[in-house]
Amino acid sequence: MGQHAGEASGDAVDALPDGVVVFDRDGSVVLVNRAAEQLFGIDRDAVVGQQFAEAISLTNNDGRSWVDYNCPFDGPRTRTGVPEQSWVLPNGTEALVTARIRRDTPLGPATGVAVSVRSGRGRARLDRERSDLVAAVAHELRSPLTGVKGFVQAMLSRWGKLNDEQKLLMLTTVHADADRLSRLITELLDVARLDTGRLSLARRGSDVRVLLDRIVSNVQAGAQHDIVLDAPHELPEVYIDPDKFTQVVTNVVENAIRHGGGTVRVRAEPWFNEGWTADGVRLTVDDEGEGIPIDMRRRVFTKFWTGHGNRGGTGLGLYLVNGIARAHGGQVAILDAPGGGARIVMDWPGQPDF
């Protein structure tokens, strides 16, 4: 019974994704799991029984060892562990290390330490993503802010010399740049809410045709390419947050203009999905660009994807498109447009069956 329990315990420790090393009060290693063996490049059978400080190489930038720096057996008896810290593995890469201090009785002397080690690559990737986000947002903010500042400065310094037509043009431009800034801030907030599962939707029955007319009209006003809308007036009512729907479809249409060029075609048709008491609507947006290769389509809806043509933007738009559509119970897919460009298909549900 005890042997089987020990084997099961060992298998469970080996199944952990993080490296685990346990040593006793004397500093002797009593357990090394498979992940730790790989991280430290050691033979765990040979290491068991050796001194932790000698067998396990964990150093900081000053060359001090983990044990010398943290002194896990010293300090007050209320101490229960060592918080996560950054250390260097034998191969020179970063590791994130934390530890639990074992005490056989409450407030008794420490009898052992369990050290948990994981690669720092995940944090490095997260740091890179954060840096990418900061750089992308800074770039996107700079252009409209420069325009706002320039036109406001011009109006302040030359107000009496400008005619009404010039003032109207400047104020219109400032208003458009302010809208762009507002949309960017909304995108950033929605990304944070999606990532934390806190995106709230104010759903209600909505007329898709009315929303599409408004979206196409607004985007067409600032677009260099034609947008053709094909949407019958008798479309089923959808159960959506109209503001989020507008945000998503605007993003897709603008993305088609930016990356596709040529005429952008928006088509709406009834769509039925099992589990919903009413038909929904399927939207299809086609462009006349180069299309999106099949091997890249999974990446399109990830953060910071700006297209293989690298035409700018924050790279958050299609990430939000997918996240918001799914939050509604819908779905998004990428296909080939008949003319060779990209086709984005979005399904929006009717009244849910509950």
Which pLDDT score, from 0 to 100, does residue 244 have?
94
- Does the pLDDT value for residue 336 go beyond 70? yes
pLDDT grade for 2, boundaries at 50, 70 and 90: very low
* Predicted confidence (pLDDT) per residue in 312-323, tens digit: 566 778 889 999
Q: Where are the domains of the chain?
A: 2-119, 124-195, 204-348
pLDDT grade for 334, boundaries at 50, 70 and 90: very high
Dihedral angle over CA of 150, 250, 129, 193, nearest 10: 110
Note the CATH number of domain 2-119: 3.30.450.20
pLDDT grade for 304, boundaries at 50, 70 and 90: low
CATH topology assigned to domain 204-348: Heat Shock Protein 90 (3.30.565)
Task: Find the mean pLDDT for residues 94-118.
Answer: 92
267-295: burial string, b at 16+ Cβ within 10 Å, e else: bbeebeeeebebbbbbbbbbbbbebbeee
pLDDT grade for 176, boundaries at 50, 70 and 90: confident
Residue 239 C-beta-side C-alpha neighbours within 13 Å = 15
Domains 2-119 and 204-348 share a fold: no
Which pLDDT score, from 0 to 100, does residue 4 have?
44
* Predicted confidence (pLDDT) per residue in 25-42, tens digit: 999 999 999 999 999 999
pLDDT grade for 1, boundaries at 50, 70 and 90: very low
CB 203 within 8 A of CB 240: yes
Which pLDDT score, from 0 to 100, does residue 6 have?
44
Q: How many CB atoms lie within 10 A of CB 158?
A: 12
- Does the pLDDT value for residue 200 go beyond 50? yes
Give the right CATH number for 124-195 from 3.40.50.10860, 1.10.760.10, 1.10.287.130, 3.20.20.70: 1.10.287.130
Task: Find the mean pLDDT for residues 111-134.
Answer: 78
